[in-house]
Structure 1
């Protein structure tokens, strides 16, 4: 596996609330780009308009191609509009082994459930897709969501977050959200557990 390329961007934003919303939307779009590994956003403590983004890519070429799209594609126009000025942007490789949490999810939520009597699987899946796309993927720290069907009619909701704390916070955000409540109305929960990814193995890309 090649050494990841880390892109570090330091910049200031024009308005914090809108900027953070558009950054989250940009993150969700970039996740589908070739070579994307992770995007860790930072906000200033001393100065609330300061922002730093640490984005990991499989190669420098992937990072550069993504930068061109973010800089020119219309779908990122709203995000670009929130950036007051870019102070520095560069690409780096780590001089030592990078902890897995820096380039991948480490928090896990695993929920098992069955369908309520009379509920069709296709209706549950439609509600699940709406819940993930409209709410869960917009939460801070969210990385991925998987719906799994086991042989005994049990389903598993597997959520991956940047760390265990984010995993629990994202789960808590279900309460009171209309899309989440619509999904929950279709299922009979069996169990829910939280955990931490300790090791990850993968084949070469």
Structure 2
């Protein structure tokens, strides 16, 4: 089974994980209203204490790109972006198969 949606994977490091997770919840509330938003799975690393990841699903790449621009000016995202100390991966993917 394949899907036409686009998955955005962001893997980041943070200095203060509890503060970053709180800021992420506010960002998640804001993004629900963005055009093309489908879902957001917030992940925290079991092995690495300063690592978090986000798996965000968009209806298409254009919506993901528009959201990337919008978050830069959205005050709801400022605390989350400030909590991130480094980005290990930020990419968009198409689903090739699901089991």
Q: Same fold (TM over 0.5)?
A: yes
Distance in 1 (CA, whole Å) between partners of 2:72 and 2:46 is 27
Shift of 1:18: 0.6
Q: How does 1:85-104 map to 2 (within 5 A)?
A: 85-97=86-98
Matched, 1:8 2:9: yes
SS of residue paired to 1:18: helix
Matched, 1:74 2:75: yes
Shift of 1:77: 1.0
Higher RCO (C-alpha 8 Å, min separation 6): 2
Q: How does 1:96-135 map to 2 (within 5 A)?
A: 96-97=97-98
Show the counterpart of 2:63: 62
Distance in 2 (CA, whole Å) between partners of 1:80 and 1:65 is 17
Give every structure 1 segment of 4 or more consecutive aligned residues whose post-TM-superposition deviation is greater than 2 Å: 71-75
Distance in 2 (CA, whole Å) between partners of 1:58 and 1:81 is 27
SS of residue paired to 2:23: helix
Larger Rg: 1
Distance in 2 (CA, whole Å) between partners of 1:78 and 1:92 is 26
Distance in 2 (CA, whole Å) between partners of 1:72 and 1:46 is 33
* TM-score relative to the length of structure 2: 0.91
Shift of 1:74: 2.8
Shift of 1:86: 0.8
| Alignment gaps of 5+ in structure 2 | none
The superposition leaves residues 126-161 of structure 1 with CA deviations (integer Å, 9 ceiling, x where unpaired) of xxxxxxxxxxxxxxxxxxxxxxxxxxxxxxxxxxxx
Q: 1:4 to 1:42 in 2, by over 3 A?
A: same
| Alignment gaps of 5+ in structure 1 | 100-205
